[in-house]
Amino acid sequence: MNSKGRLILFSGPSGVGKDTLLELLYKKRPDLVHSVSATTRNRRENEIHGKDYYFISKEDFELMIQSGNILEYTQYGVNLYGTPKRPIDDWLAEGKTIILKIEVHGAKQIKKLYKNAVSIFILPPSIEVLEQRLRKRGTENEADLKKRMEIALSEIEKSKDYDYVIYNDNLETAVDEIIGILNKN
Ligand code: 5GP
């Protein structure tokens, strides 16, 4: 199925700094490709359709599922998130290393489909720091924030199922650790 390319699954609780890590990673490794997910969540002010996500309606998301164009999907909070299938197939055939930013259930689904996918979980220095970062970001209301912290705790539990765990207390060090993993696998 994936004879040439490979998938790197990148998970971590909301607010842990995945986007910042990935931004620096892509600067250092421009050969990597990023899978843009589809979501029914509202676009945040700084986000760009087609770059950060494909922001689509619930109806369109369901159509994508029905037509087999979603490789995996999950509900996170009240919203749906999923990985479009076609770009993944194309990139794998081209031998690319593909980064998927994905929560724990999605990562599990992908691991079943692609046995050689490498999974990396990003941990915050502490739960307190995570909550502070999420509050500072200011993109969620109090109810959403509480929900995200609840999900975060249950996700952190599942970090033990990942191939690698990285603490994000220093951006440069964390990115270098990720590059080390990519070079090793
Ligand atoms: P956020 O709303 O903070 O952008 O994302 C919420 C969660 O959904 C994050 O843990 C993120 O990694 C995850 N996520 C983003 N895209 C996908 C996807 O395509 N599939 C799955 N399963 N999770 C995703």
Residue 6 has pLDDT above 80, yes or no: yes
Answering whether pTM is above 0.85, one says yes
What whole-number percentage of the chain has pLDDT above 90? 90
Give the confidence band of 138 by pLDDT, cuts at 50, 70, 90: confident
DSSP 142-165: HHHHHHHHHHHHHHHHGGGGSSEE
All domains in the chain, ordered by first residue: 6-184 (3.40.50.300)
Phi-psi region of 12 (alpha: psi -120 to 50; beta: other; left: phi over 0): left
What whole-number percentage of the chain has pLDDT above 70? 98
- Round to whole Å and give the CA distance between 152 and 142: 15
- Round to whole Å and give the CA distance between 149 and 128: 10
- Round to whole Å and give the CA distance between 125 and 153: 13
pLDDT tens column, 8-38: 999 999 889 999 999 999 999 999 999 999 9
Read off the pLDDT of each residue in 122-146 and give the average, rounded to a whole number.
91
Ligand 1: atom nearest CA of 35 is 19
- Round to whole Å and give the CA distance between 78 and 178: 31
Ligand 1, pocket-test mutation among 35, 102, 159, most atoms within 8 A of CB: 102
Give the confidence band of 154 by pLDDT, cuts at 50, 70, 90: very high
Read off the pLDDT of each residue in 165-180 and give the average, rounded to a whole number.
96
Read off the pLDDT of each residue in 102-128 and give the average, rounded to a whole number.
95
Q: What is the mean pLDDT of the chain?
A: 94
Ligand 1: atom nearest CA of 77 is 6
Comparing C-alpha atoms, which of 122, 166, 114 is closest to residue 6? 114
Residue 52 has pLDDT above 90, yes or no: yes
Per-residue pLDDT, 18:
93
- Round to whole Å and give the CA distance between 159 and 156: 5
Comparing C-alpha atoms, which of 38, 21, 44 is closest to residue 141? 44
The answer to whether residues 31 and 45 touch, using CB atoms and an 8 Å cutoff, is no
Q: Which residue has the tokens 């050969």?
A: 31
Protein residue with least CA distance to atom 23, ligand 1: 102
